[in-house]
Structure 1
């Protein structure tokens, strides 16, 4: 007994340290998501304070989105080559400095430059979050739980951001809101070296041509998707960016095939199960973006809720996620990723279909509350097993690149889904405005148009949910492959013991 006690104590200390490390990296990931919601809500206040034109205000948004979307693959690869903690720290520093700089920007262009720095930092740090989780926790229950925590942080960022924006907005200072994220980022930056272990560097040369072509291609794609959301699908710049993105990303594949140490391992896309998980993650935003986008307006325009009440209502999604995350992580190895994803997709389908019945006179408690809880549970049941399957079998050296693909797929999926849902809703609203029922008074037409747009968005979310269920067939069931021989754990790495 005396010989085993020190081992048990050592294991407890390792678990405690990795728990703190997980909390730190996931907290920074959550900070990025919360801050973006705060910025979106504060845009009108910022525009009024700095006298921004609509073009300048658009660049305040795009200056962040473009480097963030374009540099994700680069951030993951740099983490593999230079060390994931090192790149994570650089990303944290850039992001925090950008947050602080935007708060003191005197006019448009310093603000836009600060947002670009912030987006670059987010692109470097984001893929390292999931990669550090993969490197810290070996395949098994602990990794599944850690991915569950990561998923919860991502899924609840919007609701928490609404709460923060509502609370700080009451103080009337958008600078204070901007400073808060920078201050929290600097605190996490100071703590990270003490609690997060560095990962080994990967040998090999850096693929500069691949990095350049993929970055420009992704920037063009993100720009096209962002600008098509306002109905500009057929404009020359948007079409040109879509064509340019297709050509450049195709060229990236050619370069990658001919490069000895490519930016991205194309072998990640040769396994059917992993591709199915990527497709599920790509489609996931489409099942819930319309709910957040239109319900927020419904709460304020129809039900008369204050911004803080809206935030509290959306916290129900977080409640559903937290309640279902642990169960999803436990069911994945027992039922298989495919079954759990299908269950989640059915939850999302039910939530969207239920909301298509929503009208102006309906009660929040019966018409909305069940759907919000169901959305949270559905997101947990779909995202957690899809992320587990997307990163399964990836070794420590390639975890940065694999994580960057997950982040890039989710980012492109969010932009694509929003563009599609806005286009469908706009078309439905225009049709309702053009042909209103004869017995509807003129002053009620605006409400009719909004209701038609909202219903169309929920129907589109239901279609995305069905698509998730279909692509989950590629993911496969339970993984019955024999586990590889266990290797000696790296120092400070969590060790998972199983018994027959």
Structure 2
């Protein structure tokens, strides 16, 4: 009589220490997004307290965005070579130092310097978040679930930031809002080494020329796109063109380098490139919704900021509810089909808001669209992130993750610049008393256009289960 050894069944859920490690890693990712929202809402208070000009306030924002966007590729490579947990902790430490330093900053320039330290820390730590998840979970059902948790954490971060800004703002101290992120960062710094395992180092050295050129190129590109809203395209275009030229030089350097900063073979897979495009286009589907709808609910409908924050929590509700089905459908019918379904939801949400008129009920005119946006984001981001990180060796997961973060960062800047340009053009042709509603409608139409472009980009992703 022969016996047959059976392999133990694969676990169907994330358990034990791995679950704790995942929670710690995605908590820092959520913290970054919470703090971004809190800072944006607190700018008025900061400007009044420190007597800042509009130029100095813009520097408070850009001092964070520029090192964050510029150093992402370098952060991913550093994690691959030195160990992802080690670099993750180092990035968290820098980020936390920046959070705490801005609380005691007596003037604009020290606040701006602290924001720059924050941005550099975020650039080191952020690529390691997704890379650590890739190293914790092999490709399959558990990785899809983990990426679902990562997506939910990102989606709820902005909503929680709105609530915190509204609640803490009632105490009248912007420093209380700024200091909370520093305290949470300290807690995560203590907990992370105890629960998150280190990853193997990859032997190699840094491509100094590639790191310098890619950083300068991304900084110029992000600055040009973000400054186009205040300085105009005539001035910003020089930075955009210069950034694109430097990134072209970076590709040339990378092709010739023995140990390049970025593995260009990541772009040789059609499905992965399609996933990158989907992730780059995704911010454009929601920027107009949050920017204009938040103002509409306060200026036209008379909502308080806290009520608006509670309304936007519906997006998080939609994401949480749709994350599980999105992961299951990705395995069952294929990522491309799931992305198309999500994009159709985002089209429907923006078109639904286009029909909105002053006086319409929140429950019928706005609530369905907010839930659709949340579900659409889950159906779009989760399979796109799965495809963007599939087929990547653990030794290169840091670089692969940095590309995911970089395309989302640049995509956000491009989307915002395009939507602002469309909204401005539409409002200029409207009557003075209808300019705001015209701008809002233009942003919703642009959001639907971005969602339609996602459907086209998803065609690059191979249809397979």
Pick from 330, 333, 348 the counterpart of residue 332 of structure 1.
330
Q: TM-score, normalised by structure 2?
A: 0.97
How far apart are residue 229 of structure 1 and its match?
Answer: 2.4
After the TM superposition, which residues 206-285 of structure 1 pair with which residues of structure 2 at under 5 Å, given as runs?
206-230=206-230, 232-235=232-235, 238-285=236-283
TM-score normalised by L of structure 1: 0.90
Counterpart position of 2:113: 113
SS of corresponding position for 2:73: helix
2:397 aligned with 1:399: yes
The aligned residue for residue 52 of structure 2 is 52
Is structure 2 residue 3 aligned with structure 1 residue 17? no
Q: How does 1:29-428 map to 2 (within 5 A)?
A: 29-230=29-230, 232-235=232-235, 238-428=236-426
Give, in whole Å, the separation in 2 of the partners of 1:106 and 1:14: 46
Contact 1:230 1:422 in 2 (8 A): no
Shift in Å, 1:158: 1.5
Structure 1: give runs of 5+ residues left out of the alignment. 1-6, 437-444, 480-500
The answer as to 2:454 corresponding to 1:468 is yes
Q: Structure 2 CA distance, aligned partners of 1:295 and 1:93?
A: 36
1:243 deviates by: 1.7
State the Cα deviation string for residues 38-84 of structure 1 (Å, max 9, x = none). Answer: 00000010010001111111111110000000000000000000000
5+ residue gaps in structure 2? 1-6
> Structure 1 CA distance, aligned partners of 2:55 and 2:299?
27
- Post-superposition, which runs of at least 4 consecutive aligned residues in structure 1 deviate over 6 A? 11-14
Distance 2:153 2:183 in 1: 19
Q: Indicate conservation of the 8 Å contact 2:13/2:142, yes or no.
A: no
Distance in 2, matches of 1:33 and 1:338, equals: 27
C-alpha contact (below 8 Å) 1:347/1:378 kept by paired residues: yes
CA distance in 1: counterparts of 2:28 and 2:316, whole angstroms:
18
- The answer to whether the 8 Å contact 2:12/2:142 transfers is no
The answer as to whether partners of 1:285 and 1:414 remain within 8 angstroms in 2 is yes
Mark the structure with the bigger radius of gyration.
1
Contact 2:343 2:455 in 1 (8 A): yes
> 1:15, CA displacement in angstroms?
2.9
Query: What are the superposed Cα offsets for residues 225-283 of structure 1, whole Å, 9 maximum, x if unpaired?
Result: 11012361122xx1221121111100000000000110000000011110000000000
**Is the CA contact 1:152–1:322 (under 8 Å) kept in the aligned structure 2?**
yes
Distance 1:64 1:181 in 2: 15
Partner in structure 1 of residue 4 of structure 2: none
In angstroms, what is the RMSD of aligned CA positions?
A: 1.4
Q: Distance in 1 between matches of 2:245 and 2:312?
A: 40
| Contact 1:27/1:153 (<8 A) preserved | yes
Q: 1:477 Cα shift?
A: 1.4
Say if 1:26 and 1:150, in contact at 8 Å, map to a contact too: yes
Distance in structure 1 (CA, Å) of the matches to 2:315 and 2:228: 28
CA distance in 2, matches of 1:67, 1:205: 22
What do the CA deviations read for 1:1-39 (whole angstroms, capped 9, x no partner)?
xxxxxx99xx89993101000000100000000000000
Tell me which of 421, 425, 437 is aligned to 1:451. Answer: 437
Kept in 2: contact 1:341–1:472 (CA 8 A): yes
- Return the alpha-carbon distance in structure 2 between the equivalents of residues 417 and 231 of structure 1: 17
